[in-house]
Amino acid sequence: MLRESVCMISDMFVYSWMSFLTVLLALDPKDPIAIERLNLMNMAKLSIKGLIESALNLGRTLDSDYAPLQQFFVVMEHCLKHGLKTKKTFLGQNKSFWGPLELVEKLTPEAGEITASVKDLPGLKTPIGRGRAWLRLALMQKKLSDYMKTLINRKDLLSEFYEANALMMEEEGAVIAGLLVGLNVIDANLCMKGEDLDSQVGVIDFSMYLKDGGPSVKSTEGDGQITAILDQKNYVEELNRHLSASVNNLQAKVDALEKSNTKLTEELAVANNRIITLQEDVERVKEESSQLLESTCKVVKADLSADGQILGEARKQLKEETRLRLDAEKELELHIGMKQEMEVSMKMLEKDICEKQDALLALRQQLEELRKLNQELSVKSQNSDAAMKQKSEIISRLDETANQMVGTIKQLELRSHLEMELRKEKERKSGFYPDSLPEEKRNFTTQREVRFEIEEMKKELEEVRKENILLRKLLEKRNTCSCVCLRQDVNEQDQSIIDNL
């Protein structure tokens, strides 16, 4: 068993050295970036080897204060930072390897637990601190080599973060991922709660890897070889475990595929049998359908005559029902129209009732106003009647005065006439005397004045009579108009009230 382990370890070393020689042959001595990649690969190799040797010699679980472990993380940080593309942010340029490590979660679902734990740590504020915490958790989970291999195999995704000549994009990255398998023999318990991962300065301490070539080295050469063999043995066992797991998974997949293939073969045979059965059923159904079609044609021909009469009756009945349905629809439309008209008339009637109620209220107010006006007119009529009585009394007095004046005028005319006859009689008896001329003139003047006064009094009497007649007409007209207007208003109000009711 030990011989087989030694053989496997020697094979692994041969593979490692062949990869290393391939890198050396591809190395351009004038390319400084290639020299940087080679130096980082050598430092990673020395760091991993020294960490494994010191951990096996120590023989206990490693913690965060262990110096070789701290240097290993510093070297890994330099390897991951090599060739990173610079990203511009608001705070300036930023180069962080946390972005590539986040891709592992998408490629390997098992890494989701580590990413979630890193994001939940309270003391981490920068991407570089999250990347350092991720490396420590992956080492404790003993999956760092698997995650790095998965990441290196997807160079199409890494090209977003790294330059084309970066370590992770070249063969040196694959060599480092292979060397990380040996770390699976180490047990580490790293507490990151009190550790300041954001502000640590990653400086490689080369003094840990510079050894003196004295006798002490030769004396411990045998122990170093044994330790290397044990490390290689552990590495081979870990690799064998991974390969066994892969073989088991592949075997399970092969078994599942064989079972599915067998099941599909059985289903195919059943489907073929079913197809044959269905074809036979189709042929049988075709024959039966042809026979049934012939018999049906005969029956149909025999029943066509009877069906013709039934069809005619059915058509007549259909026409009658159609006519009845149309009549019913027309009657329904008529009823609907009447109903709509009734609704409209009801609405108009309600509106008319409301308007008539408003008009009734207005008419009642007008009636009250007319009653008040009637009372005022009655008062005015009474006043006008009193005035008419006074005017009638005045007119009667004027009539009496006029009659008295007429009598007086007649007496005066009679008197003047008698005087004229007496004077004529005297003149006739006594003859004409010149001395009597002045007296006659005076008498003539007096008579003329009396006549003038009589004419004036007649004119005044006529004017008084005319004025009396005019006043009577105006009073009668006024009384008549007021009575007619009052009656018309009362009649109109009564008619409007009757109409509204």
Reply yes or no on whether the pLDDT at 441 is more than 70: no
Q: What is the dihedral of CA 180, 182, 183, 186, to 10 degrees?
A: 180
Q: Is 452 among the domain residues? A: yes
Q: Is residue 60 one of the residues assigned to a domain? A: yes
Whole-number Å distance between alpha carbons of 294 and 291: 5
The per-residue pLDDT for range 298-354, each reduced to its tens digit, is: 777 777 777 677 887 888 888 888 889 899 889 899 989 898 989 998 999 888 899
CATH code, domain with 39:
1.20.58.900
Q: How confident is the model at residue 15 (pLDDT cuts 50, 70, 90)?
A: very low
Average pLDDT over residues 142-154: 91
> Does position 63 have pLDDT exceeding 60, yes or no?
yes
* Domain contains 203: yes
Amino acid identity, position 196: D
403 pLDDT band, cuts 50/70/90, is: confident
End position of a domain, from candidates 151, 177, 210: 210
> Is residue 236 included in any domain, yes or no?
no
Q: Taking the CA atoms of the chain, what radius of gyration do you get in angstroms?
A: 73
pLDDT at 225 (0 to 100): 66
**Considering only 18-32, 65-79, 407-421, which range has the smallest mean pLDDT?**
18-32
Domain count, the chain: 2
Which one is predicted more confidently, 122 or 101? 101
Higher pLDDT, 159 or 194: 159
In a domain, 40, yes or no: yes
Read off the pLDDT of each residue in 211-232 and give the average, rounded to a whole number.
Answer: 57
* Residue 148 banded pLDDT, cuts 50, 70, 90: very high
Choosing from 158, 183, 210, the residue where a domain stops is 210
The answer to pTM > 0.85 is no
Q: Is residue 491 part of a domain?
A: yes
Residue 88 lies in a domain: yes
pLDDT of residue 21 exceeding 80: no
The verdict on residue 271 lying in a domain is no
Under the banding of pLDDT at 50, 70 and 90, the label for residue 220 is low
d(CA 150, CA 169): 13
Q: What sign does the CA torsion over 452, 457, 458, 463 have?
A: positive
Dihedrals φ, ψ of 65, to 5°? -85, 0
Q: Which of 210, 239, 265 is the last residue of a domain?
A: 210
Residue 154: exposed, middle, or buried by beta-carbon count in 10 A (0-12, 13-18, 19+)? middle
Does the pLDDT value for residue 16 go beyond 60?
A: no
Share of the chain above pLDDT 90, in %: 6
Of the candidate ranges 1-10, 17-26, 148-157, the one whose mean pLDDT is the lowest? 1-10
* Full residue range of the structural domain in which residue 170 is found: 2-210
Please give the structure tokens belonging to residue 23: 């890198």
pLDDT in tens, 228-280: 676 676 777 777 778 888 888 888 888 888 888 888 988 898 988 889 988 88
Residue-wise pLDDT tens digits, 123-138: 888 888 899 999 999 9
